[in-house]
Amino acid sequence: MTQRLHLVFGGELIDPSKSTFKDPDNIHIVGMFPDYASAYAAWKAEAQRTVDDAHMRYFIAHIHRLRDEEREASSTEELG
């Protein structure tokens, strides 16, 4: 079975209508989750916790979509 990792992260945005972080060094990493359902639950908890701050935004990144396991690895990927 293929593992489908999801990263939940967020922070303060410069403009609530865009996705540019005000301070990328202070991005809140909520965690890495093994499935979308658990990532969604974590995202929802953080979004609800910060609902009163329009500049705070949380996201779910589909980490599994960043890698194609069938594709040959680059030389840097093979180092580690």
Token pair, residue 63, equals 């980490």
DSSP strands (E only) in 1-80: 6-12, 28-33, 56-62
Asked if 13 and 19 count as a contact pair (C-beta separation under 8 A), the reply is: yes
In angstroms, rounded to a whole number, what is the distance separating the alpha carbons of residues 41 and 8? 10
* % of the chain exceeding 70 in pLDDT: 80
Model confidence, pTM: 0.78
pLDDT digits 0-9 by tens, 19-56:
999 999 999 999 999 999 999 999 999 999 999 999 99
In angstroms, rounded to a whole number, what is the distance separating the alpha carbons of residues 29 and 16? 19
Higher model confidence: residue 25 or residue 77?
A: 25
